[in-house]
Each structure stands twice: as C-alpha cells, then as structure tokens.
Amino acid sequence: LELTGELQHAIGDEQFELHFQPIVELQAGNIVGCEALVRWGHPRRGRLAPDEFIPVAEDTGLIVPLGAWILRTACMQMVRWQAAGIADDMRSMSVNVSTRQLRDPGFPAEVRSALAASGLDPACLTLEITESLLVDDRMLILQQLSQLKALGLRLAVDDFGTGYSVLSYLQQFPIDILKIDKSFVAGMEIAPDRAKLVRGIVELGESLNLQIVAEGIERAEQAAQLRAMRGPLGQGFLYSRPLEPDAMTALLRRGM
Ligand code: G
Ligand code: G
Ligand code: MN
Ligand code: NA
C-alpha cells in the first residue's frame, strides 16, 4: 500500500529510468536491437528491479501511465541514437507491454502518440507481449494487436514456451517475433533434449516466417550451438547485461 502511493508520486516525479540490453546477430556479433528494461530509482530504497514494482503497478492500474512514460522514453532514446548515427545496425527498440496495458482501450492511441511525439519510424519499434496474454479474451486481444500492427510496428511473444497456451495463436495473431524463454537456453549445452527443443522452436520460426530471439545466453557454448542453427538472434549476459543509457551509447559507438 505504501508502495502504491509512492509509485503514484514517482510517476509524476519521473523517478524511473530505462536500461537497455543489446540484441545481437549471432553470426556477425553486431547489435541489431535492444530491449528497454525499467528500473525505479527510489529515493530511499535505492534502485528497484521491475519484479519489485511492476506487479503493484499492474494491480493498481498505474502501469498505464508508467507504461506510457516507458514507451515515450524508449522511442525518444532510439531517435537520439539514430540521430547520432550510432544505430545504423540497430533496427529496433523493444518495449515490454504488460497485460493490463494491452487490454486498455486507449493503448493503441498511446503508442501512436509516442511514435508521433518522438518521430520514431514505427518499423523501428517492437512491442513484447507475454504468451499467457494470448489465451483469454481472444477477440479483444486480436482487435488490440491488429490496431497496433496497423501502426507499422512489430510484435514479439516474450517468454515463448513457458505459457500454457496452444500454438494455434501463432496463426490467429499478427506476431512477428518469438523470444525463446531463457529457461530453455539455460543448460542447453549440457542437456541434449533442451537443445533439441530450442532447435524445434527455431525450425518452427523458419517455417512460419517468424524471427526468433534466444534469450538468456550466458555461455559461449550456448552461443555456438545457436549460431549453428542459423537464423536466431540472441540476447543475454554473455553479450551484455542491461546497460544504463550512457553505457549503451558507449557500446553502440565502439561496437560489440
Ligand atoms: O531485469 P529484469 O529484472 O529487467 O526484468 C524483470 C521482468 O520485468 C521481466 O519479466 C520484464 O519483462 C519485466 N519488465 C522490465 N521492464 C519492463 C517494462 O518496461 N514494462 C513492463 N510491463 N515490464 C517490464
Ligand atoms: O521477461 P523478459 O524476457 O522481458 O525479462 C528479461 C529479463 O531477463 C530481465 O530481468 C533481464 O535482466 C534478464 N536477463 C537478460 N539476460 C539474461 C541472462 O543472460 N541470464 C539471466 N539469468 N537473465 C537475463
Ligand atoms: Mn522481454
Ligand atoms: Na523473456
């Protein structure tokens, strides 16, 4: 409850910051995208991770104004990197969208205004939605996703493989990207079955013409296995942790 009041105040007070984690092309190793990850610079508690406040923001509906700030800030940052000429390989900025946000009827208009205010090319924005979202209220979600797609952006399914949903949603919803959950990448170098599962998802992506991103790459062996599968992009601590804006700028200047 205390957190709710503080959260409300923090949104007005702009106590949040975005960190950015590179998404790399696994063959060449260059940065082709990044994911924005929010942190709360709490005046007394220090820097809070999203797990500590996103659930509260969702329950209270504060995720709507917070999400709007995240979206605008991520779009503006991408435009700044493009203007500086250091985002030539970086095709897309990925922003996480929570269930509550996506269900909000005003959300597509919010995204349109973030794009317009920043001047970001919609093709350079990716929205990440969680798989479990696609299970309930299919008509509403389909309408929302269709409106978002009509803006020209891309949609990614985050944490792919962890939900209990059926694969049929891949045909129903206008999805462009699957992000293989890190739990599948973890240990794939020692567990052949897990590697086979990852390969299966990569092949699924190939046949359905979906871009695949493997998340949570921590070890060189995992990267090597994924490179051999061709196609997938990668993200994980092996390449970079989520970085503060200045550190991400420096990384973009010097290259991976
Ligand atoms: O580092 P990490 O602790 O950054 O993120 C933890 C979780 O919080 C992830 O599931 C991630 O999707 C979620 N998350 C991070 N940033 C955002 C954000 O900007 N919006 C929403 N809705 N979720 C986020
Ligand atoms: O749910 P989502 O995929 O949006 O969350 C991304 C989360 O994964 C963030 O908390 C981010 O910090 C974390 N993350 C990114 N790379 C790695 C990694 O290589 N290993 C682990 N364990 N977590 C990672
Ligand atoms: Mn994500
Ligand atoms: Na994920």
Q: Where are the domains of the chain?
A: 23-36+63-241
Ligand 2 pocket mutation pick from 39, 237, 243, 244 by most atoms within 8 angstroms of CB: 237
Question: Which ligand 2 atom is at minimum distance from the Cα of 35?
Answer: 4
Domain 23-36+63-241 CATH assignment equals 3.40.50.2300: no
ipTM of the complex: 0.97
Q: Quick check: CB of 182 below 6 Å from ligand 2? A: yes
Q: Quick check: CB of 38 below 6 Å from ligand 1? A: yes
Mean pLDDT to the nearest integer, 31-51: 95
Higher pLDDT, 129 or 167: 129
d(CA 250, ligand 4 centre) in Å: 25
User: H-type helices in the chain, by residue range?
Assistant: 2-13, 54-60, 63-83, 99-103, 107-118, 138-150, 169-172, 182-185, 192-208, 220-228, 245-254
Q: How confident is the model at residue 243 (pLDDT cuts 50, 70, 90)?
A: very high
Q: Quick check: CB of 181 below 6 Å from ligand 2? A: no
pLDDT at 2: 82
Q: How confident is the model at residue 191 (pLDDT cuts 50, 70, 90)?
A: very high
Give 82-103 pLDDT, tens digit per residue.
999 999 999 999 999 999 999 9
pLDDT at 51: 95
> For residue 230, is pLDDT > 90?
no
Determine the Cα–Cα distance for residues 114 and 120; give it in Å rounded to an integer. Answer: 8
Q: For the chain, give the number of residues.
A: 256
pLDDT above 70 covers a percentage of the chain that reads: 99
- Mean residue pLDDT of the chain comes to 94
Q: Residue 91: CB partners within 8 Å, gap ≥ 6?
A: 32, 33, 123, 124
pLDDT at 131: 86
d(CA 245, ligand 4 centre) in Å: 21
d(CA 237, ligand 2 centre) in Å: 8
Q: How confident is the model at residue 190 (pLDDT cuts 50, 70, 90)?
A: very high
CA nearest ligand 2 atom 8, residue: 216
Mean pLDDT to the nearest integer, 117-121: 98
pLDDT at 169: 84
pLDDT at 32: 98
The pTM of this model reads 0.97
Mean pLDDT to the nearest integer, 174-203: 95
pLDDT at 16: 97
> For residue 255, is pLDDT > 70?
yes
Q: Quick check: CB of 230 below 6 Å from ligand 2? A: no
d(CA 139, ligand 2 centre) in Å: 30
pLDDT at 1: 67
Give 52-83 pLDDT, tens digit per residue.
999 999 999 999 999 999 999 999 999 999 99
CA nearest ligand 1 atom 19, residue: 38
d(CA 21, ligand 4 centre) in Å: 12
Determine the Cα–Cα distance for residues 143 and 21; give it in Å rounded to an integer. Answer: 30
Question: Which ligand 1 atom is at minimum distance from the Cα of 38?
Answer: 16
